[in-house]
Structure 1
Amino acid sequence: MVLNPFSMQGKVGIVAGLANQDSIAFGCAQALHHAGAECLVTYASPKAEKFITPLISTMGEPELLLCDVQHDDQLDALFARAKERWGRIDFVVHSIAYAPFDDLHGRVVDCSKEGFALAMDISCHSFIRMAKHAEPLMKEGGALFNMTYYGAEKVVDNYNLMGPVKAALESATRYMAAELGPQGIRVHAVSPGAIRTRAASGLKAFNELAHDGETRSPLRRLASVQDVGNAVVYLASDAGASLTGLTHYVDAGHHLRF
């Protein structure tokens, strides 16, 4: 019998950052469930509960946990629960980013020290912290994912502060891949184009950026959160076993046009 290398049957892990049905985390949790995986899914604020509770059945009835990555006790509790439930994890999806409104909408040279530090902590260093928690639970290897954007590589109008922050995240991805590779742990950055998520709506002139993607990308459309989830399934499965340290563009080819 030939096993399906794209199957996630028997795999277990964490998807962090669910806010609503437009969240990339939702697309990832859905796709992982459909491929056979079992997930713990996190959300950052009790305010999100009314938006995410109706989604539970479409994600395979995952266990939902409150986890604000700024609170170490909540992060500790998340991985303690994973260890208690499974004794291991095979994947972690980090779909979390934040920057204060004023810092995000201003020039990079005008951003505050506090705003820059907060954006870096939530959007970048929390991924490193999650990897540190995950490492001892990935004794048979695994895969770690974060979400980035083309503005990390090139200047994109109005992406502002998040450009340097995502550049740091992509660099961390490469270093972590080199450090964790000997243990069989793969690390990837996934780079969707403009997607109409709640976080993206905070960007100045986001609608213009989305329109550009719809009209100028080679596929003449935006990627969906399900497209991102399907890419994560491929990379987390045995089919992606030889890949690590990469930035994967899931943007209908829009990065070719910048």
Structure 2
Amino acid sequence: MLTGKKGVIFGVANQHSLAWKIAQRCAAHGASLAIAYQNDRFEEKVSALARELPDAFTLQCDLNNDAEIQQVVETLQARWGHVDFMAHCVAYALREELMGRYLDTSREGFKIALETSVYTFVAATRHLEPILRNGASILTLTYLGSERVVPGYNVMGVAKAALEASVRYLAYELGERQIRVNALSPGPVSTLAARGIRGFTSMMEYVRHHAPFKRDTDPNEVGDTAVFLFSDMGRGVTGEVIYIDAG
């Protein structure tokens, strides 16, 4: 489904990352991949993961740093000429902002969560725009806490709501070039970021008992949905939030 397509995936931290599951499934369908990690802390682990894929290389990129994003763009342009798809799998909030009340969110904590979880998506898309092929596909990851109160999700819920609004605005602005912009909204998945949310284990248990499928979200299902959106089969889908949550 992705043979001949080239894409960049931001946010791989380890083998449990949804970004990594997306990378694995894209590679299985023939894509050439650039896998971007945040900093030196992740270099060894992510480089080892990338070596498992048939056609992938790694790049360091802190999406809060415009110069680093531009360096990635220049590298991709020199190597490939263009990009067919991009996955933004980056989110962060200070741990203390997820422990108490949303009402007590600090100004600095709010800024950090929104800048890292939302603005990085806008920034990455803007820098990549000149080398995105017409008909390219962009996606990011969101969560149900954007539209419903999830105790303990706090400022991240507000950030995800802003992220989903950004998806719609970018879909509108890039639509003339047939560039698609969407968000995937998985159910609770045990990732490095998710384990920092208070009550996460209880959330997973609730889903097992109340979701129609009576099970957790399979991370590979997230990857497979990304493959669909990146492929030509998803060419008519844009500005959407797509749920992969066992119902």
Shorter-chain TM range is over 0.9
Quick one: distance in 2 between partners of 1:210 and 1:50? 30
State the match for 2:25 in structure 1. 31
Quick one: distance in 2 between partners of 1:217 and 1:8? 31
Quick one: distance in 2 between partners of 1:180 and 1:117? 27
Scaled by the length of structure 2, the TM-score of the pair is 0.97
User: Is 1:112 aligned to residue 112 of structure 2?
Assistant: no
For 2:185, give the aligned amino acid: S
User: Is 1:100 aligned to residue 94 of structure 2?
Assistant: yes
For 2:102, give the aligned amino acid: V
- Long gaps (5+) in structure 1: 1-6, 254-258
State the match for 1:210 in structure 2. 204
Identity %: 37
Quick one: distance in 1 between partners of 2:40 and 2:220? 25
User: 1:191 aligns to what SS in structure 2?
Assistant: strand
State the match for 2:231 in structure 1. 237
**Contact 2:27-2:55 at 8 Å conserved across structures:** no
Aligned-residue CA RMSD (Å): 1.2
Indicate the larger mover: 8-17 or 47-56: 47-56
State the match for 2:137 in structure 1. 143
Offset at 1:138? Answer: 1.9
- Long gaps (5+) in structure 2: none
For 1:205, give the aligned amino acid: G
User: 1:252 aligns to what SS in structure 2?
Assistant: coil
Scaled by the length of structure 1, the TM-score of the pair is 0.93
User: 1:124 aligns to what SS in structure 2?
Assistant: helix
Offset at 1:134? Answer: 1.9
1:82-103 alpha-carbon deviations (Å, 9 max, x no partner): 1111110010000000001111
**Contact 1:26-1:225 at 8 Å conserved across structures:** no
**Contact 1:10-1:38 at 8 Å conserved across structures:** yes
Indicate the larger mover: 46-55 or 25-34: 46-55
Moved over 3 A (4+): none
**Contact 2:91-2:113 at 8 Å conserved across structures:** yes
